[in-house]
Amino acid sequence: MAALKGGRVADFTNSMAESMETAMNEEWMARTGSHLPDEGRDDRRLLLAAIARGMLAYLKANETALVSAIAIDLGTGPVARPVTEVDLNYVGD
């Protein structure tokens, strides 16, 4: 499994920042009827990349708080087990 990718302005493809820009464009289109303007694109991408990388770094630093228990049902009823280790697949980019 590939590591999570926050993104950078120079490496934006297939990143969380690109997903954020796509979602922002969808909302912009719904509100204005047009695509996001090209003016300010690099500044917007800088901001989105910083937010995405910051979010992933924060989650990685606090990964043990993400999940505390999991219930698994193999057909005989759910069995609850504590989660003793979480490894968010993010090493920075």
> For residue 90, is it within any domain?
no
> For residue 88, is it within any domain?
no
pLDDT for res 54 = 97
Q: Are 67 and 44 in contact (CB under 8 A)?
A: no
Q: Which domain holds residue 66?
A: 16-82
pLDDT digits over 1-56, tens only? 578 999 999 999 999 999 999 999 999 999 999 999 999 999 999 999 999 999 99
pLDDT digits over 52-74, tens only? 999 999 998 988 888 777 888 88
Q: Are 93 and 8 in contact (CB under 8 A)?
A: yes
> For residue 68, is it within any domain?
yes
> For residue 5, is it within any domain?
no
Number of domains in the chain: 1
Q: Looking at the chain, how many residues does it have?
A: 93
Measured distance CA(20)–CA(46) in Å, rounded: 12
